[in-house]
Structure 1
Amino acid sequence: MSGELQVHGLGKAYRVWGSEWLRMASLFGLPARPRDEHWVLRNVFFSISAGESVGIIGQNGAGKSTLLKMITGTTQPSEGSVRRSGRIAAILELGMGFNPDLSGRENAYHAAGLMGYSQAEIEEMMPHIESFAEIGEYFDQPIRTYSSGMQMRVAFSVATAERPDMLIVDEALSVGDAYFVHKSFQRIRDYRESGTTLLIVSHDAAAIQSMCDRAILLDNGGVVLDGEPQQVLDYYNALIAERENKTLRTERRDDKIVTESGTGEAQFESLQMLDDQGRPAEYLLVGQKATLRARVRIDDEVPRLVFGYMLRDRLGQAIYGTNTHYTDQPMAALKRGDRVEFDVGFEVNLGPGTYSVSVALSSSESHLVKNYQWKDLALVFTVANADKPNFIGTAFIPSVIRINRIERSAALDA
């Protein structure tokens, strides 16, 4: 089927040769040992079905961009293979393949030709490319006069002028203005709903969670985790926090991978959601008052303790979060054996659906500094609408709609 991708044992090494003869010998398959060898990626395996949307995440230097270049064929692998089908459109490094002395229109013609479109097809597409890019007279000015955002507009407009079987997007969209980024993501969503396979690299967790069926985490040149976006992103965040103390833990709970990390000086003993009567509750009503109660045990001296929480929707996207650093309520000089109870009172101004709570104990506003304990999917609850007017969305924002009839003017009646 068009839009399928199979990556089998893929690897990329950058080699330094002692002489040009050795380099040439290696190209012809003759035995030759490089003077130095650095593997960016190795033993990468995964497959993507037609119509599937997959996000690639990882820290800088993990090999994400190199992987995309090998998938698109702009870089050759040192080992392994890539099998792909259908028409592929890719937006990789900003301005990649653009000639700075040519105009946006001329570069658009050139780029579309390289994508396999005929002259007649390009002529037909060009008005749509120019219209979607919305850069006005700059479309006929040299690319060297463009801002990075304008380059992205042209590159994206060309790559998506016709719906491809597979769309590959690197971090290029991160440089655009807010209006065009929203416009671009809407086009991506439209193509995805029409069956286009999507492979996207982004540090925007919300984009990965909302647009992808799966996420793949790259670290140290290999695939660390392949699963649901929220699970992979939670693991990635914990991985970053625990680079030094190596206390990252995962467990499978109800078919979900739950991530927990921390050094353990302070730990959660219990976490409950209470209704407006103070009773433990798994189900809450829209607009109801509720309390998130966290009980914490201190197992070693803690000079400064910050409690934080995050409410997430079913896709793992952040709905609301805060901590006692932001509210100016940190605790100090806690001793072994101390216990602390945090009560978070709030109104359930959420739409009907299922939500999760992530919680953290740290020394500052971020668990990336001193992370005592961090737990994702620590608690799950459901919100139902029993007595409020029907509405759509994840936020309950009561509104008043006023309607005024405007009298027609006498001139219109004449």
Structure 2
Amino acid sequence: MPIEFRGVFAGPLKDLTIAAPASAIIGVIGIKNAGVTELLKLACGQMEPQQGEIKAGPQRRYLAPGDSVNLAPADVIALDQTLATQDALVRTRTVTGLDRLRRAGATVLLASHEERLLETLCDEVWWLEGGEIAAKGDPRQTLAQYRRFVADQVRAWGETIPPRLAPSSRRGDGRAEVVSIETLGANGQPTIVWKSGEYVGVRATVRFHEAVTGPVIGMLIRTRIGFEVYGTNTDREQVRMGPCKAGDAVTVLFQFLCDLCPQAYTLTLASHDPDGAVHDWIEDAVAFTVADERGTPGVANLRAKVTVEAP
């Protein structure tokens, strides 16, 4: 049986007007305090709206996180992250049971953070943000919009975290010292999160405790399991430095496109002589994360363009 929200205000929900048909599974997504739980509770009569009305059949059931899965016939069933704590057997049975309920005419509201589940099971996805419908419709398209939003939110959050040196090891003869390392976003602000495809920077400041004729400053990006992704240095980029005397401080900025796949990485910085004699080598000095609007396996985000050629 269909359900309709008309001008509903409740908690974070603001003037919510939307309807779901009978014989449908609707995915509901949103970050914390977006209004997802409130929408599901309203749908099943567990909450009353402060304003507006909800039209639905009399048989309604709300399943909270951790509840046992009751798939007895009902007009409206709302699952609020209910599958998140279930084992594989219960989850498989539940997916089958939800499809049967859909075929029997029920409206199912399914809140989940599992995008693959929502893509394969749902007829439509509603994305809530700030108590309002940010987007709704085809699951794949709506989830793509939501992922883009989440990636942007994570990227913005990264600027609120101060950079911190936490090397796994450090070595060198002490003639120079790496005193600061910053990972910069396209706006030039320090951040611990880069967005894949963003033009980014690494800024390092080195202070010299002894005279060094021709110092070389280098950087190396690794995955969290130690796979070397990309490295360069001032010598390789044909940027000559020095001579530097005791007390001098030099700041070097490396800039490049972050064509990396979303995952965690570390950054190693070093100051050394052209022959490799190390002044200061800071292994895995800074940790950072790459975010993206879609999950891409591997390390290099090559952004392939795919076409189908006629025979």
- TM interval, shorter chain, is 0.5 to 0.7
Q: Does residue 61 of structure 1 match 2:18?
A: no
Superposition TM-score, scaled by structure 1 size = 0.43
Q: Who is 1:70 aligned against? A: 42
Q: Who is 2:5 aligned against? A: 7
Report if aligned partners of 2:16, 2:132 keep a CA contact under 8 Å in 1.
yes
- Give the percent of matched residue pairs that are identical in Structure 1 and Structure 2: 19
Q: Does residue 83 of structure 1 match 2:55?
A: yes
Question: What SS is found at the alignment partner of 2:148?
Answer: helix
Q: Who is 1:223 aligned against? A: 133
Q: Who is 2:71 aligned against? A: 160
Q: Distance in 1 between matches of 2:92 and 2:121?
A: 13
Q: Who is 1:191 aligned against? A: 101
What does residue range 52-201 of structure 1 map to in structure 2 within 5 Å? 52-85=24-57, 87-92=59-64, 94=66, 152=68, 156=69, 159-161=70-72, 163-201=73-111
Report if aligned partners of 1:55, 1:215 keep a CA contact under 8 Å in 2.
yes
- Deviation at 1:94? 4.4
Q: Distance in 2 between matches of 1:87 and 1:66?
A: 18
Report if aligned partners of 2:56, 2:76 keep a CA contact under 8 Å in 1.
no
Report if aligned partners of 1:42, 1:222 keep a CA contact under 8 Å in 2.
yes
- Deviation at 1:380? 7.0
2:201 to 292, 301, 319: 301
Q: Who is 2:269 aligned against? A: none
What does residue range 183-332 of structure 1 map to in structure 2 within 5 Å? 183-243=93-153, 264=186, 299-302=199-202, 328-332=227-231
Change (3 A) 1:62 1:47: same
Question: What SS is found at the alignment partner of 1:236?
Answer: helix
Q: Who is 1:364 aligned against? A: 265
Query: Which whole-Å deviations, capped at 9, do the CAs of 1:76-134 have from their partners, x for residues lacking one?
Result: 11112111136333323545xxxxxxxxxxxxxxxxxxxxxxxxxxxxxxxxxxxxxxx
Change (3 A) 1:233 1:329: farther
Q: Does residue 48 of structure 1 match 2:20?
A: yes
Report if aligned partners of 1:305, 1:362 keep a CA contact under 8 Å in 2.
no
Aligned AA (1:332) = G
Report if aligned partners of 2:262, 2:295 keep a CA contact under 8 Å in 1.
no
Q: Distance in 2 between matches of 1:10 and 1:297?
A: 40
Q: Distance in 2 between matches of 1:380 and 1:298?
A: 19
- Deviation at 1:200? 0.7
- Deviation at 1:372? 7.5
Q: Distance in 1 between matches of 2:52 and 2:149?
A: 27
- Deviation at 1:338? 6.0
Q: Distance in 1 between matches of 2:98 and 2:18?
A: 22
Question: What SS is found at the alignment partner of 1:203?
Answer: coil
Which of 1 and 2 has higher RCO (CA within 8 Å, sep 6+)? 2
Q: Distance in 2 between matches of 1:339 and 1:173?
A: 39
Aligned AA (1:78) = Q
Question: What SS is found at the alignment partner of 1:69?
Answer: helix
Change (3 A) 1:231 1:297: closer
Q: Distance in 2 between matches of 1:213 and 1:332?
A: 46
Report if aligned partners of 2:44, 2:77 keep a CA contact under 8 Å in 1.
no
Any gaps of 5 or more consecutive residues in structure 1? 14-39, 96-151, 248-262, 266-295, 307-323, 343-358, 384-414
Question: What SS is found at the alignment partner of 2:32?
Answer: coil
Aligned AA (1:193) = R
Q: Distance in 2 between matches of 1:381 and 1:225?
A: 27
Aligned Cα root-mean-square deviation (Å): 4.0
Change (3 A) 1:91 1:6: same
Q: Distance in 2 between matches of 1:363 and 1:160?
A: 40
- Deviation at 1:61? 2.1
Change (3 A) 1:297 1:9: closer
Q: Who is 1:114 aligned against? A: none
Q: Who is 2:245 aligned against? A: none
Q: Distance in 2 between matches of 1:326 and 1:233?
A: 30
Query: Which whole-Å deviations, capped at 9, do the CAs of 1:364-391 have from their partners, x for residues lacking one?
Result: 39xxx554765689667589xxxxxxxx
Question: What SS is found at the alignment partner of 1:243?
Answer: helix
Change (3 A) 1:41 1:187: same
